Structure 1
Amino acid sequence: MSWTAAGGVGHPAPGGFPHDALFHDSLDQLVATAAPFLRAGLDAGEAAVVATSASTATALREALGDDPRLVVVDRHDAYRPRTPAAIIAFRKLAEEQRATGVPRVRVLGEVDHGPSERNWLEWERYESVINEALRGWDLWGVCAFDSQRLPESVLASAAHTHAHVVTPQARTPNARFARPAGYLRSLPVPDEPLEATPPRFTADAVSDFVGLRHAVAAELAGLTAPADVVEDFLLAVDEMTSNAVRHGVPPVSLRLWTAPDRLVCTIADGGPGWDDPFAGYGPAHGDDLSRGGMGLWLARQLCDHVDISGGAHHPGDGGVRVRLTTLLR
């Protein structure tokens, strides 16, 4: 009996966001677990979507008899390089599929976690955030993790960010699952070696937005970097500086570093910050964009890494600090 044929926990009701982990040590094991999940969805009139590597997608197509109803999307289109964009992509996918009348969308996902610990951390955050960010979108996600290939830290995080684990035989509650808010607060803020060096540009007691933008733009003007990348970074700096001045506690300061491979800027103020670990993974006021609250959300889409420290996140640090990092690919 396959896990999708089991009653009770094997069939979460539509609504919410069931988010399961599939740990496997071979492509055959992955297919043996995922194919029945996708087939059961198609048989129930749901949409079945695969966002995986090409080899996994090919194997699943073969297992499902090349069913034309199976939707295969390029995983790099689904899992964008910046995680808030991935959330937007899956919400859009849900809207598009539900517009056809299906009651729910089943997704088999396989993230490319990237080459470094810094990349891994972004996806570890993402896997926890989507437990809340995709709640109510009538998606059922099963995330595949290769236990032979992925780093141990990624596998450990996967165990903390998925409420259920699936195998070819069963879907069972995961005792290692950590509530998203607490888990996100526990994740470290990575060190940035550039911060131990003299900044390229410094501004203290910031109040003049226009003058500051011109000054930062002047520092970035001579860099060998794509103009659109620099402009996005500059816009993120603007947004975070504006947030600090409008909502933080003076003084507001800015530090800028540049290196051949990345741009780094920190904006700090003396305020207590906020205790919302989901901040910036969607507009602060939902779909009502007229109310503002988009600064951190935009920054997370414009930069490769956005790290928040101090305030309620790390009370001992004094004040709040937002660090923006853009890679010069």
Structure 2
Amino acid sequence: MHVGSCTEFDSGRSPAAGSATPGFRHDALLYDSPEQLAAVAGPFLLEGLAAGDGAVIAVSPEATPVLREAVGHHPLVLVLEQHALYRSRTPTAITTFRGLGEQAGPGRRVRVVGEVDFGTTVADRTEWQRYEAVINHAFAASPLWGLCVFDTHRLSDAVLTAARDTHPHLVTASGRAVNPDFVAPVTYLAGLPVPDEPLEHTPPALAADDVTDFIALRRRVRAHLATVGSPPDVVEDYLLALDEMTSNATRHGARPVGLRLWTAPGRLVAVISDAGPGPTDPFAGYGPAHGADLSAGGMGLWLARQLCDHVAIRHDQHGASVRLSTAWS
């Protein structure tokens, strides 16, 4: 496949070496064909390599060979397996990309062509929509330039709308332009509904209304989980997440602290509630609250998001709650 340089990225060229560290750029390409993907994303990566930037491909198995050919199988282009990156939990992708940004040379960026796998459930899709908004904040100071690509023939209207809402710039064959549909991340996150969880409409397998003895509660939860056939590693991760969220509710919330646990074949759901205001930062839990200094605390939600498939925070007239969901096959 011959790819011409149909798109100019000159307006976003990396600063000269030795200049101030460049910040994050977050662009979206909504593509209709493999040829359009190659014609836009190929030059984006090649121009970056010519300027001394790093180059990364993290797209679907169908799109990967298209892009590898578009860059002439350049040996300096790093290819990441999409499912390992985007079918895991969002903190995995955030940590991976932060690490890549740390490898950028002085005054340079790492350019990433990424294609999020939005999963198969509403909860998956919502979490990755959150991710697209969150990284505008989480990577603000990182020397990363993300070109997120969206297949208009494969993805739903909801996902394509989210793409337009969460990317400050759009890229087409004509060039890179400010996106008039971009929504500020705080506003966008505030408008995202918490997906419904059907298990919550059934009687819980375990309930504690005013938790004071956390050791005893943990024993009750562990004893119950031992009866549902959960893999041991899933149980340990889930117990740790429950511990963190129950501890957070006790330290930062207000009594009564309550817990509800539901189990179903291949699925665990728990809600930890308290009468306090709960987390109000829409970016809470997408990075350690105090950076790399683990001794400073602020790790509870960050850990929970790594240990569970989905973490949902809700507020109502009674206080705040955190819902932890995990599934296995």
Report the aligned-residue RMSD.
1.6
Identical aligned pairs, as a percentage?
56
Flag structure 2 segments of 5+ consecutive residues without an equivalent. Answer: 16-20
State the distance in 2 between where 1:268 and 1:116 align.
Answer: 25
Residues 80 and 86 in structure 1, CA contact (< 8 A), matched pair in contact too = no
Residues 249 and 257 in structure 2, CA contact (< 8 A), matched pair in contact too = yes
Give the match for residue 205 of structure 1: 210
State the distance in 1 between where 2:269 and 2:319 align.
Answer: 19
Q: CA deviation at 1:2?
A: 3.5
User: What is the one-letter code of the residue matched to 1:52?
Assistant: V
Cα 1:101/1:55, change in 2 over 3 Å: farther
Give the match for residue 96 of structure 2: 89
Question: Which of 60, 65, 89 pairs up with 1:53?
Answer: 60
Residues 113 and 119 in structure 1, CA contact (< 8 A), matched pair in contact too = yes
Give the match for residue 141 of structure 1: 146
Question: Which of 176, 179, 182 pairs up with 1:171?
Answer: 176
User: What is the one-letter code of the residue matched to 1:319?
Assistant: G
Residues 14 and 53 in structure 2, CA contact (< 8 A), matched pair in contact too = no
Question: Which of 221, 227, 231 pairs up with 1:226?
Answer: 231
State the distance in 1 between where 2:263 and 2:130 align.
Answer: 26
State the distance in 2 between where 1:317 and 1:193 align.
Answer: 22
Question: Which of 260, 264, 276 pairs up with 2:281?
Answer: 276
Runs of 4+ more than 4 Å apart: none
Give the match for residue 180 of structure 1: 185
- 3-state SS, counterpart of residue 63 of structure 2: helix
Q: Deviations over 1:23-53 (max 9, x none)?
A: 0111111111101100110110111110112
Query: What count of residue pairs does the alignment treat as equivalent?
Result: 320
- 3-state SS, counterpart of residue 55 of structure 1: coil
Give the match for residue 259 of structure 2: 254
Question: Which of 26, 30, 35 pairs up with 1:28?
Answer: 35
State the distance in 1 between where 2:195 and 2:14 align.
Answer: 37
Residues 6 and 170 in structure 1, CA contact (< 8 A), matched pair in contact too = no
Q: CA deviation at 1:272?
A: 1.4
Q: CA deviation at 1:196?
A: 1.1
Q: Deviations over 1:52-73 (max 9, x none)?
A: 1233221122122221111111
Q: Deviations over 1:178-201 (max 9, x none)?
A: 100111111001111111111100
- 3-state SS, counterpart of residue 8 of structure 2: helix
Q: CA deviation at 1:166?
A: 0.2
TM-score by length of 2: 0.93
Question: Which of 180, 190, 196 pairs up with 2:195?
Answer: 190
Give the match for residue 318 of structure 1: 318
State the distance in 2 between where 1:79 and 1:94 align.
Answer: 18
1:267 matched to 2:287? The reply is no
TM-score by length of 1: 0.93
Residues 14 and 51 in structure 2, CA contact (< 8 A), matched pair in contact too = no
Flag structure 1 segments of 5+ consecutive residues without an equivalent. Answer: 311-315
Question: Which of 264, 277, 288 pairs up with 2:293?
Answer: 288
Give the match for residue 302 of structure 1: 307
State the distance in 2 between where 1:317 and 1:306 align.
Answer: 20
State the distance in 1 between where 2:99 and 2:10 align.
Answer: 30
Q: CA deviation at 1:102?
A: 7.5
Question: Which of 3, 7, 15 pairs up with 1:3?
Answer: 7
